[in-house]
Amino acid sequence: MKNSTVDTHTLPAQWADDEPLLVVDDLYVEFQTRQGTVRAVNGVSYSVNAGETLAVLGESGSGKSVTAQAIMGILDMPPARIPRGQVRFRGTDLLKMPDDARSQIRGRRVSMIFQDALSALNPVFSVGWQIGEMFRVHRGMSKRDARKKAVELMDRVRIPAARDRLDDFPHQFSGGMRQRIMIAMAIALDPEILIADEPTTALDVTVQAQIMGLLAEIQRDSDMGLILITHDLGVVADVADKIAVMYGGRIVEEAPVHDLYRSPAHPYSKGLLESIPRVDLKGQELYAIKGMPPNLLEMPTGCAFHPRCPYRRANCETDVPPLHPVGSGRGSACHYWREVLDGGHS
């Protein structure tokens, strides 16, 4: 009865089926530090439908993970502050919900896989206890029933001899197996949105492929929306439906995945793609984007990418480019996106 009350309060009936499951709208996040204000997220907007995978790409410090933490409601406030924006789940703005109601959404309806499984898992509790906690706390299950569910989930994410390993501790598992345990915890309550923050970091390519395949399989089975946060274009080509590229706290390009791979419309996206090692270029020097990511305490004027951009002109240093529509479902925050699409300045 308790869960029914929470659902009625947090998910009003006016949500329209044709609206995306999750909408991030003009979101800003900043941090107050001794050095000044760090503007980590600057007007980010994106959406995710049921059964859809959105890949959010960018270098470290681009705002990918901070946006995800704002969605989950796990930012420390202060020092964090959200001066503007909305995060709508099934039509309800999560940012305006009281903490107790939002805690019922977190984990149950919107869940997250953190990038460092060893740090995210509690070292003093067995993995079976930690997975089972989801059912004890949120579903009121007995310890015995929660252990049974933990075994089922460990089997589902293909941990060998799951029943025998139920009482093992996180340090007794390999990196890939720990990541599977994190996935098991994240999907325990059948969330409608799953955020995977760098889920293949520090894993070898074979294990990366296994983890990505597992996420894709779980998504197919449950029709959940998936937000995949990564800096690696190579891991998303076969799983994402659309891509949002972030730089300096903004989305600088958004596109269906195949369109972006075929013809990027922003110099930063183009540079990322050219930085991927290719078999046909064996022996040649690997391309690297010149310069460093921006200091969020002292953001460049105009386009944040202009100090590193081969397309830059005088107005790039003064005018912030809007997200220009460049085709069906595509946008580029570049004054000279047509030249990028034409392949100039390679």
Domain membership of residue 230 (yes or no) is: no
- Dihedral (C-alpha) 74, 75, 76, 82: value to the nearest 10 degrees? -130
Whether 327 maps to a domain, the answer reads yes
Higher per-residue confidence, 269 vs 9: 269
Residue 216 has pLDDT above 90, yes or no: no
Residue 173 lies in a domain: no
Among 13-22, 210-219, 259-268, 290-299, the minimum mean pLDDT is found in 13-22
Domain, as residue range, for 307: 265-346
Cα gap 36→166, rounded to integer Å: 47
Q: Is residue 17 part of a domain?
A: no
Asked if residue 46 belongs to a domain, the reply is: no
Q: pLDDT per residue over 102-125, tens digit each? A: 888 888 899 888 877 777 888 999
pTM above 0.75, yes or no: yes
Kindly state whether residue 166 falls inside one of the protein's structural domains: no
Q: Residue 278 gets which letter from DSSP?
A: -
Q: Domain count of the chain? A: 1
Report the alpha-carbon distance of residue 146 to residue 239 in Å, rounded.
32
Those residues whose C-beta lies under 8 Å from the C-beta of residue 192, and which sit 6 or more positions away, are 21, 50, 90, 109, 110, 224, 225
Residue 317's pLDDT band (cuts 50, 70, 90):
very high
CB neighbours (10 Å) of residue 52? 19
Q: At what angle do helices 175-186 and 127-138 cross, to 10 degrees?
A: 10
Residue 281: predicted pLDDT: 62
Does residue 134 belong to any structural domain of this protein? no
Give domain status of residue 51, yes or no.
Answer: no
Question: Backbone phi, then psi, for 56, in 5-degree steps?
Answer: -110, 115
